[in-house]
Homo-oligomer: A and B are copies of this chain.
Amino acid sequence: MSYHCVYADEVRMWVFEEVLPTGEKLSEVINKTNENIKYLPGIKLGKNVVADPDLENAVRDANMLVFVTPHQFMEGICRRLVGKIRDDAEAISLIKGMEVKKEGPCMISALISEQLGINSCVLMGANIANEIAVEKFSEATVGYRKDKEIAEKWVQLFNTSYFMVSAVQDVEGVELCGTLKNVVAIGAGFVDGLEMGNNTKAAIMRIGLREMKAFSKLLFPSVKDSTFFESCGVADLITTCLGGRNRKCAEAFARNGGKRSFDELEAEMLQGQKLQGVSTAKEVYEVLNHRGWLELFPLFSTVHKICIGQLPPSAIVEYSEHKPNYSIVGGSAQFF
Contact = CB atoms under 8 A, between A and B. Distances in A.
Interface string A176-206: 0000000000000000000011111111011
A90 interface: no
A131 interface: yes
A132 interface: yes
Contact of A229 (B126, B131, B210, B242): B210
Contacts of A209: 229, 234
Interface stretch (A23-31, A103-111, A135-143, A144-152): A135-143
Nearest to A160: B320
Nearest to A200: B137
B336 A229 contact: yes
Contacts of A161: 320-321
Contacts of A138: 199-200, 202-203
A202 B137 contact: no
A196 B139 CA distance: 13
A221 interface: no
A164 interface: yes
Contacts of A157: none
B199 A128 contact: yes
A213 B196 contact: no
A126 B225 contact: no
A74 interface: no
Contacts of A132: 199
A206 B137 contact: no
A242 B201 contact: yes
B231 A229 contact: no
A162 interface: yes
A18 B230 CA distance: 49
A156 interface: no
Contact of A203 (B126, B196, B243): B126
Q: Which interface class (under 10, 10 to 19, 20 to 34, 35 or more) fits A?
A: 35 or more
Nearest to A233: B206
A234 B323 CA distance: 19
A236 interface: yes
A226 interface: yes
A127 interface: yes
A206 B243 contact: no
A253 interface: no
A196 B130 CA distance: 12
Interface in A252-290: none
A126 B235 contact: no
B323 A128 contact: no
Nearest to A333: B226
A234 B231 contact: no
A139 B238 CA distance: 18
Nearest to A188: B238
A320 B159 CA distance: 10
Which of A131, A138, A321 has the most CB atoms of chain B within a 10 A radius of its CB? A138
Nearest to A236: B202
A321 B159 CA distance: 11
A113 interface: no
B317 A137 contact: yes
